[in-house]
Structure 1
């Protein structure tokens, strides 16, 4: 249960400031405290006076019937409230292009430099910066778009403020509702935005922009590594694997069925064709590669929640794909099994299946992400072979082909999981040593870009936070 801070209690005049709003959210979220601090600054302006575009520059969109397609020629990437937080945009659902570009929805196209705010649901109020590679995406009606006027404010500076602890408090304090929380454009239109000298704002903006470009570079390098993987193994046609355009797995016969499984989907024709293609090029079985490493589920431990900074941040299957995870803090159980070794591949391997779901997607643990703990729901893949690095394997496992193959190895009815015995029998194409080294280097560089992006974003937040606190006295 949250309570108001005794050092900064709720005052009666705060109720009047909030239009006699009697729910606790704006008072204990720090929203009023942040507003009172910002009032002490010499120069603040309403957010709505700094935006431009549709509906004044702060807008969401209409509810509409969503028609999803798989053909890239006739569809556009579509961002939901969780997708906008995602580091790798490769697996986004795709909205029918004719609908997206219609007069009704065309203004929902994301513009680089926008601030995106989730406006409904349990986690309403999350913010994300529209990086350069989001320009061909459309955003759902559940996302508030804040489009800054370049003549009045730098986009990176405005985002840094909205992302800061002050922006966090103000945006979260604007949330209404109990069962389904939401934010409307007029709820945040009056948020006070502090203004400083042009040099400081430009510096903060440049740091945010450089961070956004590095995140886009991270994405581009991973896509290039996966393409290089298939090209180097003589499997270039799999770079454009149109899974749903292949003949469906209906009415097929299988010989030599394994006693491991009698489930028809484990023997699907499309997956078998891909495995056969892998077997025709130099390859090694995944089980063999991981014999001296690891191929299995993570450690299950008792989770005792604690305050931030007093334990370890525990990352679950959804947040593992975000730019900056917000996993809960738990006490360190003292077992290294909850952490990951460098270049571990984590595959989401427990839950329910949906067409655009995360089940079967993979992340790569290296750099700063080695500090996090991970739930037991991930399938951990660690290479035990010095000539087959985890970085090389990840170039494959992040692909659409690997996603479909993992989902062909399911066991269970409700919450499902992956059969490790089937995964061990997956043939992994092995390019020449030089090609493997180059592909691995590309993946590693991508994650160096990601870590650098985090550092730059934190630096921008630090500069702005310090400036606000000093100005407020």
Structure 2
């Protein structure tokens, strides 16, 4: 429970500033305190005066019937409030192109430099920056779009302010609702944006723009590594599996089954054809590659909460696919050793449901700055036991649609799915030539270095902005 600070009590005139809101959120969450702090700056401007475009440059969109397709020629990538936080945009759902380009929805196409704010749901108020590689995406009505006027403010600077602790407080203080949270465009139109001079704002903008470029490079390099792998092993047709364009598994016969499984999903023809194709080229089973390494889920344990100074951030399945995790902090002393991972461990989301947009069977690579985090038991930890098959190479395979579909066909369970251990061990992994393996691994490592450097630049931009504001009001 949050309470007002005795050093900064809620005052009666604040109620008028908040439209006579009687819920506690804007008063004890720091929103009013931040507004009073920013009033001490030499110059601020309302957000609505710095934007341009549809509805003045701050808008979400209408509710509409969503028709999803899979053919890229007739659909466009569609970004929801969870997807806008994702590091890898490869698996986005796709909206029917004729609907997206209609006069009703065409303005929902994203433009590089926009700031996105989730405006509906439990986590309303999250922010994201539209990178150069997101220009072909459309966004949902549950996402506020803030389009800066380039003649009045730099897009990267505006995003840095909205992402900072000051913007966080102001945006979160604008949230309305109880069970389902909401933010409407007019709720944030009056947010005071500090003006810190062209030189400093330009520096912050340049850092954010370079950060966006590096994150786009992370995406393109990851995709390139996967394409290189399937081309190198002689399976270029698996670059684009077109799963839903294949004949559906409506009825089929299995010549013989053993005691391993009687579940139809484990013998579905589409998946069987895919696994057979993976095994038709030079390669090894996943189990043999991981001998001397690891191929298992983590140990279950009781979480003991801690603070960031004395604990370690625990990352769960969903947040591990975000640009930056927001997991809870726990005591490392009361957790098993395997919450920390060795370099180039692949984590496969190991528990979940079979929804097309669920993270179950998706994979991440733990390397670089992400080695400092802890990870829950809900992943298969894949560690190569063969130095000739590095984790970076394996990740180029596991991030593919082919691996995703194969893994899902190994599912066992009721509502919550897991993998059949035998089928998982027998998964054939195509192996390119040693030179190609080294090249593909290098591409993946480059991608993750770009991602880490992007985080450093974003932190530097936030530090510049925060220091400037604190010094100006100090």
Deviation string 1:416-467 (CA, Å, 9 cap, x unpaired) is 1111211100010111000000000000000000000000000000000000
Kept in 2: contact 1:295–1:420 (CA 8 A): no
2:432 alignment partner in structure 1? 431
Runs of 4+ in 1 over 6 A off after TM superposition: none
5+ residue gaps, structure 2, are none
What residue is the counterpart of 2:231 in the other structure?
231
Residue aligning to 2:449: 448
How far, CA to CA, are the matches of 1:338 and 1:365 in structure 2? 12
For residues 253-268 of structure 1, the aligned pairs below 5 Å read 253-268=253-268
Query: What corresponds to 1:62 in structure 2?
Result: 62
Contact 2:340 2:372 in 1 (8 A): yes
Establish whether residue 28 from structure 1 lines up as the match of residue 28 from structure 2.
yes
Which stretch has the larger CA shift, 211-220 or 416-425?
Answer: 416-425
The aligned counterpart of 2:348 is 347
Q: Distance in 2 between matches of 1:6 and 1:290?
A: 58
- Written as runs of structure 1 = structure 2, the 5 A alignment for 1:26-425 is 26-332=26-332, 333-425=334-426
Deviation at 1:197, TM superposition (A): 1.2
Superposed CA deviations along residues 240-286 of structure 1, whole A, max 9, x for unmatched, are 21111111123222234231111011011111112212222111000
**Does the 8 Å contact 1:115/1:130 carry over to 2?**
yes
Q: How far 1:41 moved relative to its partner?
A: 0.1
What TM-score does the superposition give when structure 2 sets the normalisation length? 0.98
Partners in 1 of 2:7 and 2:223 — Cα distance?
Answer: 51
Residues in 2 aligned to 1:439 and 1:187: alpha-carbon distance in whole angstroms: 48
**Alpha-carbon deviation of 1:306?**
2.3
Displacement, 1:309? 3.0
Does the CA contact (< 8 Å) of 2:302 and 2:335 recur in 1? no
Equivalent residue number for residue 469 of structure 1: 470
**Paired residues, number:** 473
Displacement, 1:179? 1.1
| Cα shift readout 1:316-360 (whole Å, capped 9, x = no counterpart) | 111111001111111112532112111011111112221222111
Give SS of 1:417's match: strand
CA contact (8 A) 2:301 2:335 kept: no
Quote the Cα distance in structure 1 between the aligned partners of 2:425 and 2:125: 42
Counterpart-to-counterpart distance in 1, 2:307 and 2:366: 24
Deviations along 1:31-63, one digit per CA (max 9) or x if unpaired, are 011101100000000000000000000000000
Distance in structure 1 (CA, Å) of the matches to 2:125 and 2:76:
25
Give the Cα–Cα distance (whole angstroms) in 2 for the partners of residues 459 and 448 of structure 1.
17
Q: Which residue does 2:13 correspond to in 1?
A: 13
The 3-state SS of whatever aligns with 1:240 is: coil
Q: What is the TM-score with the length of structure 1 in the denominator?
A: 0.99
- Return the alpha-carbon distance in structure 1 between the equivalents of residues 70 and 129 of structure 2: 26
When structure 1 is superposed on structure 2, of 247-256 and 204-213 the one drifting more is 247-256
Question: Over the residues paired in the alignment, what is the CA RMSD in angstroms?
Answer: 1.0
Do the aligned residues in 2 keep the contact of 1:309 with 1:329 (CA within 8 Å)?
no
